[in-house]
Structure 1
Amino acid sequence: MITTLAIKNYALIDDIRMDFKDGLTIITGETGAGKSILLGALSLVLGKRADLNSMKDASKKCIIEAEFAIKKFNLQTLFEENDLDYDAHTIIRREILPSGKSRAFINDTPVTLSQLQAVGPYLVDIHSQHETLSLAEENYQMQVIDALAENTSLKNTYSEQLKAYRITTKGLEEAKLKKSEASKEIDYNTFLFTELEEANLEGIDQVKLEETYETLSNAEEIQETLSKVVQLFSEEQIGTMETAKEARAALSQLKNYGSVYHALWERLNSVIIELDDLSEETEQIATSVEANPQELLAINEKLQTLHKLQHKHNVATVSELIEIKNTLDANITDTNNLDSHIEKLEKEIVNLNKEVRKTGKAIHESREGVIPKLQEKLEAILAKLGLLNARFDFKLTLTESLRENGTDTLDLLFTANKGTTMGSIKKVASGGEMSRIMLAVKAVLAEYQTLPTLIFDEIDTGVSGEIANKMAAIMDGMSHGMQLVSITHLPQIASKGAQHIKVYKEDVNNVTETHLKTLSQEDRIVEIAQMIGGKNVTDSALAHAKELLN
């Protein structure tokens, strides 16, 4: 319920703050006093687009703030879905800056207009004689039936099943498309994979392979060169080893004369040992290198294959070729598995379709079960409101279509008069009739669910006498379990309020301003008397007003 509404610099309002009570709040005032301004301001809080022209003083900021007590409405999930912090005492603020920009806040957190519009309908429901179009909408009509049928659990199950069905159906479409595209490439991918598979890439050391190829290709030159090196090391008289050994023998005569000579001998001795080892290893390598035309041919073929594949796939290493081969293998496997995957999805879809249709039928039967009760209740209320011959016909049809709210279609037929053919409610019901139907619908809904704050904006237009009393009684009954606000010109309805607010205009410093006043009991007697007999209040009008209030 709304607890407080504060408005600054909006239309004819300078700065007002109004506290609201639970139950029925009545708002009255002369035509043009600014009652519609209140609704306009509240609509901004609920997500209506801002208009710079609505500012009283365009050089100042316009601020509209509403406070709500929402503990009993179970809106935690709604707040979470819209990424909002939940608070049982929620404050919504809307600001229009002189620049024309608009800002909105929920519990001091900046929000977008879409977030505001998502929350608004769960807090306040505004109805006027010209704003009853929702009655003509099939979705709203279904909601009314479902409220009586207590279909919340069934509809949640249906929604989950429908979601699973649609996700699986989409998955099947994607799998079929993937198969269609993959089928065009499967032969080529298989060829590429086979080519890489036959290359036996695992375990190949390309660097070592290329070194072996170079060795075999130049075996004769390597053997000649290494033999020459060995000869230079070991040739008698002029060989490097012989020369070094003679020098070592000469230094051995001096090594006992001092550490410096001994160090020279040690270094030369180490060189001789290393040269000797180097000579032996060179001789061994020279011996091991042999020309092998067959091995050379095999290595050359393998390297040619590698280079061809690397160039073809635009890579430089064997590991990259193996990675490509594995990817191709996975793609081929996926393609080959698509048929079984598609078959599995098709079976799932058949089962999901059966489940969702079974739930849809259960919802249909539940709806059919409560329609007679709803029809009876609506017609009884409308009879009290002067539509004695009002009749409804809910044409509920089970279809093959999987719709958001079930598998039904609904056409609500209506007539207000005897002897006339029923027609679609949106075509045959007048504005006044739609207002009374809306009141009847809300009165019925109030018995079955917790409704947001209801605001009726002069839906009693054209009603008088005993009908007005009945309408007032209905509103009074509804207000015992919810917050209801009625903007009215009827004294019968005005007298039922637990709270009575008067909207009036006055000139302040030659500027017309709209003000609000919460009326005392004495003020209410005068206000209702004026509603009965005009500004010149008579004793009989006062007496009638007191009678209504009592």
Structure 2
Amino acid sequence: MLLELNIKNFAIIEDLRIEFENGLNVITGETGSGKSIIIDALSIVLGQRASKDTIRTGRDYAFIEAVFSDEHNIVSDILERNNMERSEIIVISKEIKLNRPSITKVNGYTVTSRMLSKITSKLIDIFAQNENISLMNTQNQKKLIDFFCDDAHKKMLNDLSRLIEEISILEREYDENLNSEINKDRELDLLKFQIKEIEDANLIEEEDKKIEREYDKISNISQISNLIKENIEILKSDYNNVNIEDLLDKIVNNSINILKYDEKLKELVDELEDIRYRIKDSIHFFESYLNNVDYSEENLRYLEDRLNTINDIKKKYGNNIEDVYNYLDEISKRVDFLEHFEIKIAQEKEKIDKLKLQSLEMAKIISKNRKEAALFLEDNIEKELRELNIKNAKFRIDFTEKEISKDGFDNIEFMISTNVGEDYKSFSKTASGGEMSRIMLGFKSIIAQKDNIETLIFDEIDTGISGETAQIVGAKIKKLSKEIQIIAISHLPQIVSLGNAHFLIKKEEKENTTTSNIVKLNKEDRILELARLIGGADITETAMKVAEEMLEQ
């Protein structure tokens, strides 16, 4: 259930807070007052892409926060599975900044758009006016059918999608291989030459790096030797009239003598003696290194030639030796394929045919599931439409077959007849705006009950209806609000009068700025707003009386 919505610096809203109630919450306001902005803000915090243009003029950020209660613990389970703390209160916030990326958080944790979608889809569903159009799209109709199927069906759909993709890749490879038969002998000769060239090089893993290091050392042996000689001279001789060994001997001996009188120096003496031994070891190491320098022009030429061979192979077949051997493995398999072309091509065809048969069986199961879901929908939608004053409505879901693809072989189209004696026609050709609004209300009612959604938002679902039909739609929404929370933006008094809570959006202009605010109406104010909806700007006593009667019902 949506408990609270907080909006700051969004469009013409400066700072707005709404506390919603159980049951039916209605929102009214004059055209342009900001009703749609409320829905836009809520849609953004729930995952819709946010534009920097929505930030209020003169501000550098916008902030939207929606607070929900998780009565069925569905979202808490999702949070726990994703290493977030469980909570009965779910706080979703979005900060839109001018010069930085937007940040979305759930209970203080930054989340991805995918994670946000998982969470919000279990909390709330928004019916906007453009959804009427989306329901006319046959692909969306198919998705709706799939929604009413179980989890095993949805998993099979994913498996089929992956399988069709695999078949597509295999078919491309099969066609390429068939076409390559013409140049098979030429390709074989080239690949065998490449295999021989790589194998003759006899490359060893990391060999190139070792040789490069050795080559660098030998090619710079003269400089290395001179530096080592200088190190020995510094350590052994009177370098700049100073002999390090003698100096250390003197320091150590002096310290040992001091140690007779003060043991505090013992640790320091030990360290100095260690330094003296280390220097002697260093001298020994440098002398040994110098005596064992192995340099020859022949060795240098060998390293140079070997490095050239390795680099030539790498230039042709890979960035490094590992890549070269991966390429060798790849072309060896290709040679094996070409040498056994007829057998391999037949095996490829057999595999493709087997996978196609498997995909067909999966598509049959998917189609069967959809037809069962369609029967459920046909029955329930007709009941909903009769309740919504489309008394003679008949609803049917037509199935035709197409070439199998990632979503199966079903073409699906919703068909409806709204009057006695009329043939079934597709949604896009027959349903009026008012009828489509009621059809969507019927669908939303069924979806909400199936998916345990706790909040439904209707953005002017009353478009195209009036009179008795408006009363019936209002009664349906009121009935639904006893099971789940409903937030309805409406201009029809027949619906507005049924609200458990009534909020009014007002646009105010002052000091060269425009601001949209919201207030919760008491009974007297509700009567006044209802009278405005009934009679327009000039509110009469008759309109006031009718409004009061509507609230009393």
Pair in the same fold by TM > 0.5: yes
Q: Tell me what 1:132 maps to.
A: 132
Q: Could you tell me which amino acid in structure 1 is paired with residue 32 of structure 2?
A: G
Q: Could you tell me which amino acid in structure 1 is paired with residue 158 of structure 2?
A: S
Alpha-carbon shift at residue 540 of structure 1 (Å): 7.8
Q: Is the 8 A contact 1:193 1:325 kept in 2?
A: no
Q: Tell me what 2:278 maps to.
A: none
Q: What is the number of residues matched between the two proteins?
A: 437
Alpha-carbon shift at residue 24 of structure 1 (Å): 2.4
Residue 311 and residue 30 in structure 1: after superposition, are their counterparts in 2 closer, same or farther (change >3 A)? closer
Cα distance in 2, alignment partners of residues 459 and 101 from structure 1: 36
Alpha-carbon shift at residue 460 of structure 1 (Å): 0.8
Equivalent residues in 2 for 1:512-527, closer than 5 Å: 512-521=514-523, 523-527=525-529
Q: Is the 8 A contact 1:476 1:496 kept in 2?
A: yes
Alpha-carbon shift at residue 439 of structure 1 (Å): 1.0
Q: Tell me what 1:162 maps to.
A: 161
1:104 aligns with 2:107: no
Cα distance in 2, alignment partners of residues 92 and 330 from structure 1: 52
Cα distance in 1, alignment partners of residues 444 and 20 from structure 2: 21
TM-score norm. by structure 1 comes to: 0.65
Residue 378 and residue 185 in structure 1: after superposition, are their counterparts in 2 closer, same or farther (change >3 A)? same
1:152 aligns with 2:155: no
Q: Tell me what 1:476 maps to.
A: 478
Q: Tell me, which stretches of 5 or more residues in structure 1 are unaligned?
A: 202-307, 317-321
Alpha-carbon shift at residue 163 of structure 1 (Å): 1.2
1:383 aligns with 2:386: yes
Q: Tell me what 1:61 maps to.
A: 61
Q: Is the 8 A contact 1:151 1:363 kept in 2?
A: no
Alpha-carbon shift at residue 536 of structure 1 (Å): 3.6
Residue 23 and residue 146 in structure 1: after superposition, are their counterparts in 2 closer, same or farther (change >3 A)? farther
Alpha-carbon shift at residue 348 of structure 1 (Å): 4.3
Residues 287-330 of structure 1, C-alpha deviations (whole Å, 9 max, x = no match): xxxxxxxxxxxxxxxxxxxxx999988789xxxxx999998985
> What is the aligned counterpart of 1:363 among 361, 366, 370?
366
Q: Tell me what 2:290 maps to.
A: none
Alpha-carbon shift at residue 414 of structure 1 (Å): 3.2
Cα distance in 2, alignment partners of residues 385 and 36 from structure 1: 25
1:497 aligns with 2:499: yes
Residues 353-401 of structure 1, C-alpha deviations (whole Å, 9 max, x = no match): 3333223212322332343442343233333433334333322123331
Q: Is the 8 A contact 1:364 1:398 kept in 2?
A: no
What secondary structure does 2:391 align onto?
A: coil
> What is the aligned counterpart of 1:407 among 401, 406, 409?
409
Alpha-carbon shift at residue 479 of structure 1 (Å): 2.5
Q: Tell me what 2:45 maps to.
A: 45
Q: Could you tell me which amino acid in structure 2 is paired with residue 362 of structure 1?
A: I
Q: Tell me what 1:262 maps to.
A: none
Percent identity between the aligned chains?
32
What secondary structure does 1:95 align onto?
A: strand
Q: Could you tell me which amino acid in structure 1 is paired with residue 16 of structure 2?
A: I
Equivalent residues in 2 for 1:82-93, closer than 5 Å: 89-93=89-93
Cα distance in 2, alignment partners of residues 67 and 469 from structure 1: 31
1:28 aligns with 2:36: no
Which protein is bigger by CA-based radius of gyration? 1
Residue 2 and residue 139 in structure 1: after superposition, are their counterparts in 2 closer, same or farther (change >3 A)? farther
Alpha-carbon shift at residue 37 of structure 1 (Å): 2.1
What secondary structure does 1:447 align onto?
A: helix
Q: Is the 8 A contact 2:3 2:20 kept in 1?
A: yes
Q: Is the 8 A contact 1:64 1:93 kept in 2?
A: yes
Cα distance in 2, alignment partners of residues 168 and 352 from structure 1: 7
Q: Is the 8 A contact 1:7 1:63 kept in 2?
A: yes
Q: Is the 8 A contact 1:45 1:93 kept in 2?
A: yes
Please say which of residues 8-17 and 54-63 is displaced more in the overlay: 54-63
Residue 497 and residue 73 in structure 1: after superposition, are their counterparts in 2 closer, same or farther (change >3 A)? farther
Equivalent residues in 2 for 1:177-196, closer than 5 Å: 180=180, 184-190=186-192
Equivalent residues in 2 for 1:126-525, closer than 5 Å: 126-148=126-148, 150-167=149-166, 169-170=168-169, 173-174=172-173, 180=180, 184-190=186-192, 330=329, 333-335=332-334, 337-338=336-337, 346-404=349-407, 406-451=408-453, 453-507=455-509, 511-521=513-523, 523-525=525-527
Alpha-carbon shift at residue 409 of structure 1 (Å): 0.6
Residues 77-117 of structure 1, C-alpha deviations (whole Å, 9 max, x = no match): 98899x996865443333344x4655232234556778767
What secondary structure does 1:377 align onto?
A: helix
Q: Could you tell me which amino acid in structure 2 is paired with residue 489 of structure 1?
A: H
Q: Is the 8 A contact 2:29 2:35 kept in 1?
A: yes
Residue 191 and residue 37 in structure 1: after superposition, are their counterparts in 2 closer, same or farther (change >3 A)? closer
Residue 189 and residue 95 in structure 1: after superposition, are their counterparts in 2 closer, same or farther (change >3 A)? closer
Q: Is the 8 A contact 2:201 2:310 kept in 1?
A: no
Equivalent residues in 2 for 1:64-83, closer than 5 Å: 64-69=64-69, 72=72, 74=74
Cα distance in 2, alignment partners of residues 310 and 7 from structure 1: 67
Cα distance in 2, alignment partners of residues 132 and 195 from structure 1: 66
Residue 387 and residue 42 in structure 1: after superposition, are their counterparts in 2 closer, same or farther (change >3 A)? same
Q: Could you tell me which amino acid in structure 2 is paired with residue 374 of structure 1?
A: L
Q: Is the 8 A contact 2:62 2:96 kept in 1?
A: yes
Cα distance in 1, alignment partners of residues 146 and 496 from structure 2: 33
Q: Is the 8 A contact 1:169 1:349 kept in 2?
A: no
Alpha-carbon shift at residue 504 of structure 1 (Å): 2.3
What secondary structure does 2:461 align onto?
A: coil
Q: Tell me what 1:545 maps to.
A: 548
Please say which of residues 25-34 and 524-533 is displaced more in the overlay: 524-533
Q: Tell me what 1:95 maps to.
A: 95
What secondary structure does 2:135 align onto?
A: helix
Q: Could you tell me which amino acid in structure 1 is paired with residue 334 of structure 2?
A: T
What secondary structure does 2:31 align onto?
A: coil
What secondary structure does 2:450 align onto?
A: coil
Please say which of residues 378-387 and 480-489 is displaced more in the overlay: 378-387
